[in-house]
Amino acid sequence: MIYAATLSPAAPTFLPLYRQIKALVLRSLEAGEWKPGEAIPSESELAARYRVSQGTVRKAIDELAGENLLVRRQGRGTFVATHGEPREQFRFLRLAPDHGEAGSYASRTCECRRGRAGAEAARALDLKPGDAAIAIRRVLLFGGEPIVLEEITLPAARFKGLTAERLAEHEGASIYHLYETDFGTRMIRAEEKLKAAAADAVAARLLDVAAGTPLLSIERIAFTYGDRPVEWRRGLYRTDRHHYTNALF
């Protein structure tokens, strides 16, 4: 192994071995050498491949598992995380009913068109003025009731061929799972900005509330490998019978 310091004399004057291994595993992940849901090689195989001890591989994998990129399963192996599993389903959707258990979930796509991105979305996604984008508008239903109105903007280059039909086939499952299966794009993390806003006429109609009703407005930028922003969205949430949950540590 070669210390990064040897290659780039900048910043952290020293890069531990396990971080270099982590970067190598990350590169394989990003390149799709192991697909979401698949097992990666065992710790001892990786140790042999990279010529380091198993403990060093272990520490690299520990960090990747901590970042939800890998999932360890004792006795079975280490797997590439996927948004397809029920457990991961609601990691990015933190809405809960005020009372009782979470009921059914479904999405209804209103619109899916190709065109220019809005100013905010273009800035968030680093799109150049001429770049095409895909705009989706949909309503999320909980227990059959319309609770969330969402606008999603995607760079057309990465999500070529995404259609309303394909979205319709996928209703009920996480859209991030569709991104994985159809476009090989896995969402790693997201940043959100929350505000309160009054419902305009469109939102009022689609969410079945009076115009002016306070709604929770959530703007999100989602990132894939390499911290590349690849999805922008704004959601308007009815919070009369639901709330957004957050945990602080």
Partner DNA sequence: CAGTGGTCTAGACCACCAA
Partner DNA sequence: TGGTGGTCTAGACCACTGC
Nearer residue to a second copy within complex by CB, 112 or 237: 237
Taking CB under 8 A as the rule, does residue 192 contact a second copy?
yes
Taking CB under 7 A as the rule, does residue 54 contact DNA?
yes
Taking CB under 7 A as the rule, does residue 74 contact DNA?
yes
Considering only 17-25, 101-109, 120-128, 159-167, which stretch makes contact with DNA by CB under 7 A? 17-25
Query: Are 133 and 116 a contacting pair, CB within 8 Å?
Result: yes
Nearer residue to DNA within complex by CB, 17 or 209: 17
Residues 19-78 that bind a second copy (CB under 8 A): 67-68
Taking CB under 7 A as the rule, does residue 226 contact DNA?
no
Considering only 4-12, 44-52, 88-96, 105-113, which stretch makes contact with a second copy by CB under 8 A? 88-96
217 burial via Cβ count (<10 Å: 0-12, 13-18, 19+)? middle
185 burial via Cβ count (<10 Å: 0-12, 13-18, 19+)? buried
The structure tokens 């639901």 sit at 242
Instruction: Select from 24, 28, 37, 59 the one that contacts DNA (CB under 7 A).
Output: 59
Rounded to whole angstroms, how far apart are CA atoms 205 and 194? 22
170 SS3 class: coil
Smallest distance from DNA to CB 17, Å? 2
Taking CB under 7 A as the rule, does residue 9 contact DNA?
no
Query: Are 125 and 139 a contacting pair, CB within 8 Å?
Result: no
Query: Are 13 and 5 a contacting pair, CB within 8 Å?
Result: yes
Q: Which residues contact a second copy by CB under 8 A?
A: 67-68, 91-92, 94, 188-198, 212, 214-217, 219-220, 237, 239, 243-249
